[in-house]
Structure 1
Amino acid sequence: MSADRAGAEYVAEFIDGPLEGEFEHRILVGGKPEQRVGMLAAVDGLESLFWYDAVDQREVNGQLRVKFRFDAGDSDPVEFDEDDND
């Protein structure tokens, strides 16, 4: 990755919800990370839209990292089966 591109990116960390534990490189918008992102993901073979809100940001080794929390109220409904997550 070039230095120019590295300065225009941040790492999104999804801390809960269906994408918990996932990381994604995203492009800064107007030099800043997004405050709200919509993510498409397949759950049980169906495409669903999940909304996440930024809750924290920090710099780690010169790279901006932003934590996002799941917004269940605005997202497509998903049933989470604890038995399938062992």
Structure 2
Amino acid sequence: MSTDTAAQYVAEFLDGPLEGEFEHRVLVNGKAEQRVGMMAAVDGLESLFWYDAVGEREVNGQVRVQFRFDADDSDPVESDDEND
């Protein structure tokens, strides 16, 4: 009995710093999260990025949730062009 895959979903990040990335996440009370905070290193600095769910579909029996980047609530993403 494989309840592991039934208790998970795939998060698809559509834009922002994590654009094109996928992550397996755990369903909470049988549902996908509507908002996720993701830590990532940009130019060597740890930053917190917020993503909001914008769509959900089933692919081959697995739930996939699409997330869009919330730039207003996330840490700024700026590259240091002064050293170029």
Greater fraction helix: 1
Runs of 4+ in 1 over 2 A off after TM superposition: none
Structure 2 stretches of 5 or more lacking a match? none
Secondary structure (helix, strand or coil) at the match of 2:52 reads: strand
Residues 32-76 of structure 1: per-residue CA shift (max 9 Å, x gap)? 000000000000000000000000000000000000000000000
Residues 2-37 of structure 1: per-residue CA shift (max 9 Å, x gap)? 620000000000000000000000000111000000
Count, aligned residues: 80
Question: What TM-score, normalized by structure 1, do the two folds share?
Answer: 0.89
2:32 matches 1:33: yes
**What's the C-alpha RMSD, in Å, of the aligned pairs?**
1.4
Please name the residue that 1:13 is paired with: 12
Structure 1 stretches of 5 or more lacking a match? 82-86
Highest CA radius of gyration, 1 or 2?
Answer: 2
Q: CA 1:9 to 1:75, structure 2 compared with 1: closer, same or farther past 3 Å?
A: same
Could you tell me how far 1:80 is from its partner in structure 2?
5.8
Give % identity: 77
